[in-house]
Amino acid sequence: MKVFVTRRIPDVGLTKIAAAAEMDLWEDRLPPPREELLRRVVGCHGVLTLLTETVDAEFFDAAGPQLRVVSNFAVGYNNIDVAEARRRGIQVGHTPGVLTDATADMAVTLMLAAARRIVESVDDVRAGKWLTWEPLGYIGQDLVGRTLGIVGMGRIGTAVARRCRFGWNMKILYHDRHANEEAERELAAKRVSFDELLARSDFVSVHTDLNETTRGLFDADAFSKMKPTAVFVNTARGPIHREADLAEALRNGSIFAAGLDVTDPEPISPDSPLLSLPNCTICPHIASATVSSRNGMADIAADNLIAGLRGEPLRCPVP
């Protein structure tokens, strides 16, 4: 069986894959260019992809009819046309669970960093602009007792809510297609409409997947309904917020600050207006970048790939 792995992942995964199949590994730090990707998948029975690879009909055509499985090294799978894969009988796997805590920690880190103006302060220290202890300098927002609005109350949203409920005694609102009874019981979380969440939350954190109903969900209209003291955090997918609208909301004070681990495009364009805003903290999509998360992702992704090659059910198929 022949497989293509589109980037070096932790050894725990590579070792398993190499023992089970003939592995072609893309060693560069950057993703394979599209042409190269389509060339390398020809004749493969399995492919391990990252969210940087678009897996669509063209990809499946290039690979050929023997392709059995695509194993995504990510919990999100918006880069994959899952319906098209299903039509062709190709299994698709992802890596849920093992990155929940790391991603929730990242969302809370961004909430704190944005609320307490950490990057702006550090930049000033580095630039020699720390003049004195200022009673009115660098004043940020408190977390204790404030209201957190979670958009997408799945595994990660619930983990963020739990941290905020038990760490800072925050009130939890959430917006989701489905009720999360466990979160309602354990965290006194209250399910509300999107507009009510925007109007009442002091912190809004996004944990939904990217799909046609969430693309552009945070636009000028949404930001205008938030509090001027609110902090917006997105650790899910960049296209869920509209960059130009977010930049305008941050510039004109319709919200206080933002913390982003995701942008659109990625990497962020060097002329993005967000880069020059002191109240916008941006990280390079690192939420799952911890030892246990990345090893766990490698282990699941390898197991998914190998099961798919064998025609067995995957350890973690996409829902």
| Cβ-based burial of 132 (10 A; exposed 0-12, middle 13-18, buried ≥19) | exposed
Which residues from 99-158 bind ligand GLV, rule CB under 6 A? 99
* Catalytic hit among 40, 237, 241, 315: 237
Shortest approach of ligand GLV to residue 195 CB, angstroms?
A: 27
Q: Longest Cα pair distance anywhere in the chain, in angstroms? A: 68
74 near ligand GLV (CB under 6 A): yes
Please give the size of the binding site for ligand GLV, defined by CB under 6 A: 6
C-alpha 92/C-alpha 88 separation (Å) is 11
Position among 16, 38, 54, 76 found at the interface with ligand GLV (CB under 6 A): 76
> Omega into 267 within 30° of 0, i.e. cis?
yes
Which residues from 280-319 bind ligand GLV, rule CB under 6 A? 288
In one letter, which amino acid is 273?
A: P
Contact region for ligand GLV (CB under 6 A) — 1-9, 71-79, 139-147, 149-157?
A: 71-79
75 near ligand GLV (CB under 6 A): yes
Is 181 among the catalytic positions? no
Q: Which tokens is 272 given? A: 């993005």
For ligand GLV, what does the binding mask look like between residues 39 and 58, x meaning CB under 6 A? ------------x-------
For 276, residues 6+ apart whose C-beta sits below 8 A from its C-beta are none
Is 45 among the catalytic positions? no
Helix/strand number for the chain, H first, E second: 12, 12
Q: Where on the chain is the footprint of ligand GLV (CB under 6 A)?
A: 51, 74-76, 99, 288
Catalytic positions: 237, 266, 285
